[in-house]
Amino acid sequence: MTLEFRTQEVSQDMLARTRKVIAVHINYPSRAAQRGRTPEQPSYFLKPSSSLALGTADAPGTVERPAGCELLGYEGEIALVIGKSARRVGLEDAWSHVEWVTASNDLGVYDLRYADKGSNVRSKGGDGFTPVGPALIPADAVDPTQLRIRTWHNGNLVQDDTTEDLLFPFAQLVADLSQLLTLEEGDIILTGTPAGASVAKPGDVVEIEVTGGDFSSGRLATKVTEGTTPFADFGARPKSDDTQREEAYGSREAAGLPAPENASVLTPELKAKLESVATATLSSQLRKRGLNNVSIDGLQATRPDRKVVGLARTLRYVPNREDLFTTHGGGFNAQKRAIDSVNEGEILVMEARGEKGTGTVGDILALRAQVRGAAAIITDGGVRDYSAVADLEMPTYFANPHPAVLGRRHIPWDTDITIACGGATVQPGDIIVADSDGILVIPPAIAEELVDDCIQQEKEETFIFQMVQEGNSVDGLYPMNKEWQARYAEWVTAEWQSRQGAQGD
């Protein structure tokens, strides 16, 4: 049977017969990481069938950006077309109810999100806001976990992802929806968009293609036009702000927005200061402030020569219980969600209860954290694939190597909560500083004052070290009495004058 025979084109008649269009909010790990939230269960919204439209690379469809709107967002998605009625079907049978796979564009105006209260009727329900096609790929001829979705914006590739690691596999979506409502022949399920979705302006062309094996949907092309009819004053009218711009473009940077003030207490300047002082000095200054229980103890490092400073992200494991591991241990579990959402410069801290009888991270997930820019991984449990993890540039702090997988002792349970690791309490957003002396947890509120005092302390200790080298007794010098404090002040002045002279030269 030829591919041409098995592939059909989406037609206006087919779209006219479609009764329901159901869309999933978040389903790709890359999108979840971009949004900063990973759902535990799929959630959905409806789009009217009147939003359906066609478009090919040779004959692009058109979509109107409504008058007064700024943020027409596009989202390349894989669409599933139901071939036979599905009601209360199981996971093992769900895929057989899908007849076709094709490309779709889940368009919407962020300017009207405020008026929807989560329904997306106004923001995503406009005429032409759901282009699909152009070709239909037979569902029984492809592996639903091996499909590829790509999106081009004015010829530039902006989305490129696969269905291998979806939060909710396609069969789960069909089975889940069928528990409450009947999926009818011709119904369309939009299965979520990966990272890279953004904003299209009048004159722009967005193209989307789905491929699987030797099959392709062809390029679904849509050209944006500018609407001229203003919204009436008896309903919600467009309005946008920087929050919606950030959501629409995917990030503040992509939207051309400045970083928010005080976005992170760990500014580049503070980070540089913390990197300049030893954890031993930080520990003594923390103790002066009454903080004695802020060290993560008993761990070894793959890169003991490295100094690491970053903000904590947290992951908690609970003791394995077989029935709970079935529901929480597989799929895109809390461990994978934590790894796949860690951001540049962050440190993933794991609570494993000091249990050394299994691994809590291995080479693949450690590599994924490194690729995402994580500064380090810290776990008070074991590490699998030790040699490979140790070869990574990113440091990992751990209790011991162990070959066993999670399910022997642990269930990955939840993320971004207060945890205990190595005898210390760690909260998301705490500052972690680690070097060859140990690992410290610093409350962000005191970090700036703390490190300034550390810099002063180390300057004093440099003077004391020099005086001891010259043969002076530590009596009265360490700590300094009034006489030595006066000599220290003279030494500081001399050092400053020496630096000024060097700069003048």
Average pLDDT of the chain, as a whole number: 90
Q: What SS3 class is residue 289?
A: coil
Give pLDDT, residue 97.
97
**Whether residue 493 is found in the same domain as residue 365:** no
SS (H, E, C) 220-232: EEEEEEECCCCCC
| 271 domain-assigned | no
Nearest Cα to 59, choosing from 222, 208, 211, 204? 222
DSSP 183: B
**Whether residue 104 is found in the same domain as residue 13:** yes
Find out whether 150 and 194 touch, Cβ atoms under 8 Å.
no
| CATH code where residue 409 lies | 3.50.30.40
pLDDT digits (tens, 9 = 90+) for 431-480: 999 998 999 999 999 999 999 999 999 999 999 999 999 999 999 988 89
**Whether residue 457 is found in the same domain as residue 438:** no
**Whether residue 231 is found in the same domain as residue 328:** no
Q: Which of 220, 249, 278 is the last residue of a domain?
A: 249
| 283 domain-assigned | no
| CATH code where residue 194 lies | 3.90.850.10
Q: What SS3 class is residue 348?
A: strand
| 448 domain-assigned | no
Q: How far is CA 219 from the centre of its chain?
A: 28
pLDDT digits (tens, 9 = 90+) for 292-323: 999 999 999 999 989 999 999 999 999 999 98
Find out whether 30 and 161 touch, Cβ atoms under 8 Å.
yes
Note if the bond before 479 is cis, omega within 30 degrees: yes
| 348 domain-assigned | yes
**Whether residue 466 is found in the same domain as residue 332:** no
Q: Which of 414, 442, 470 is the last residue of a domain?
A: 442
Give pLDDT, residue 503.
58
Find out whether 369 and 348 touch, Cβ atoms under 8 Å.
yes
Amino acid letter for position 434: A
Nearest Cα to 266, choosing from 95, 111, 444? 444
Distance CA 415, CA 350 (A): 9
| 321 domain-assigned | yes
Neighbouring C-beta atoms of residue 307, cutoff 10 Å: 16
| 478 domain-assigned | yes
Structural domain span for residue 334? 292-442
| 364 domain-assigned | yes
**The two three-digit tokens of residue 261, written as one number:** 């003030």
Q: Is pLDDT larger for residue 8 or for residue 302?
A: 302
Q: What SS3 class is residue 466?
A: helix
Number of structural domains in the chain: 3
Query: Could you give the C-alpha distances from 242 to 246, 259, 269, in angstroms and in order?
Result: 6, 11, 26
Nearest Cα to 360, choosing from 388, 380, 342, 346? 380
**Whether residue 341 is found in the same domain as residue 406:** yes
**Whether residue 467 is found in the same domain as residue 432:** no
**Whether residue 55 is found in the same domain as residue 146:** yes
Q: Which of 25-39, 213-227, 490-504 has the lowest mean pLDDT?
A: 490-504
**Whether residue 322 is found in the same domain as residue 438:** yes
Share of the chain above pLDDT 70, in %: 96
Amino acid letter for position 113: R
pLDDT digits (tens, 9 = 90+) for 199-232: 999 999 999 999 999 999 999 999 999 998 988 8
Give the number of residues written for the chain: 505
**Whether residue 420 is found in the same domain as residue 476:** no
| 272 domain-assigned | no
pLDDT digits (tens, 9 = 90+) for 175-205: 999 999 999 999 999 999 999 999 999 999 9
Give pLDDT, residue 263.
52
User: Which residues, other chains included, contact 317 with Cβ-Cβ below 8 Å and sequence gap of 6+?
Assistant: 335, 350, 351, 352, 353, 355, 360, 381, 406, 410, 411, 412, 413
**Whether residue 345 is found in the same domain as residue 398:** yes
Read off φ and ψ for residue 258, nearest 5 degrees: -70, 155
